[in-house]
Amino acid sequence: MNNKFKTVALICCRGGSKGIPGKNIKDFAGKPMLGWILEAAKASGVFDDIILSTDSEDIAAVGRSYGATVPGLRPDYLAQDKSDQFDTHKYIFDLLGYTDDTHRICILTNNPLINDELLVQGFEAAKSANFERVVLDTVKVPGDYMFFRQCFEHDGLLRFHFPKGMLDSQINRQTVAPTFTTINNMRWGKPSYFTDYDSYKTEVTINGVIPVPLPKLRNVDIDDIDDWKIAEAVFTTFFLNK
């Protein structure tokens, strides 16, 4: 932990999941999905507190049972499908008095495959930069999905978003410089980095991002039941009780 600043994890979980109803506390490999990330955060030993923001008393109860601090339920206007997550961050920081002078933050998603070792890596990367840069988990983009191959549909045809990139590309993907994408399971930085999305975009665009490599098997995005089945199969096969 940082001796000068309090280091806090913030996990935001809405109760109104559409793709998988009750997703955040649905049983995943033997415990509520939320329980896995809360246990990982606690096991990492880098956090002075773990804050859970939710609009659901059921989620809050599960969070408390795993040691999370729940500072009341989130207002309804911050729990809608189109609510700005950065407004939620600001609400929590203001409510708890978190500022750049007092705290350092890790915004976590409810991904059960993020473990304590990855959280320690993120913390050490952020600490080594004195939290002056945003730290994000990242993965290398496969050659078949390089940015210049991305298209949009127009009049029944696919058009390239980045035509110059396509024209300049080589036929062998091995000749292309490695490309990475940010995943955002964990975002480390000062509170001010996460209170306004426009400011956040400016920060990461101008100053860059410190990457924490995310292993391929831990890179999951659980939006529907098929995603859930795949993630649970990977988790139980490769990580559970290992």
Q: What is the pTM of this model?
A: 0.90
Residue carrying structure tokens 């952020």: 126
* Stretch 95-101: mean pLDDT: 98
**Mean pLDDT of the chain, nearest integer:** 93
Lowest mean pLDDT among 9-23, 138-152, 192-206, 223-237: 138-152
Assign domain 6-136+182-238 to a CATH class.
alpha beta
186 confidence band (pLDDT: 50, 70, 90): very high
Q: Is the pLDDT of residue 63 over 80?
A: yes
The string of pLDDT tens digits covering residues 158-179 is 999 999 988 888 767 677 777 8
Say which residue, 76 or 19, is predicted with more confidence. Answer: 76
Q: Is the pLDDT of residue 232 over 90?
A: yes
What is the domain partition of the chain in residue ranges?
6-136+182-238, 142-178
